[in-house]
Amino acid sequence: MLPPALGDFTGQDMELAEITAWLSKERSPDEATPVVAVSGRGGVGKSTLAITAAHRLRPDYPDGQLYAVLGGARPHDPYAVLGRFLRALGVPAAALPDDADQRCGLYRSLLADRRAPAGRPALPRPRGPGQLRAQLRTRTVPRSP
């Protein structure tokens, strides 16, 4: 579940409009799933921008939203986050694969026919490229300092 939306979000209208336009665009089933990466220094509002965009896109993704923080002061292990996502998608704890690649495969198969901003969640400050592996088309929206 997403953190609550902020009622007084201001100052990033252009970035927010670009993100929501990119992620709400109709696509054919054979098109790659879009990914938006928001970059910038710590404290400039990357997470708030991503969360605000996710809330605005809720009608376009009726199958739910998944959210995790992989960076910051208390980083979460991506393997554990994937387990939480699978549980949120209805996989019983006893059925969670032990192997990371199998978890990824199950995650992808569960999302294959869903419209949910997952697999494209708000994941601020990953600790390295190995944390976020996906064969998806990516578009970067730079953040102004």
Q: 51-73 burial, b if ≥16 CB within 10 A, otherwise e?
A: bbbbebbeeebeebbbbbbbeee
Q: Where are the domains of the chain?
A: 13-24+32-77+118-142
The confidence score (pLDDT) of residue 77 equals 80
Tens digit of each residue's pLDDT (9 = 90 or more) over 55-77: 888 888 777 788 877 666 676 78
Counted residue by residue, the chain has a size of 145
The sign one gets for the Cα dihedral 112, 127, 130, 84 is negative
C-alpha to C-alpha distance for 1 and 134, rounded to whole angstroms: 22
pLDDT (tens digit per residue) in 78-121: 888 889 989 988 999 999 999 988 998 998 888 877 776 553 33
* pTM of the complete model: 0.67
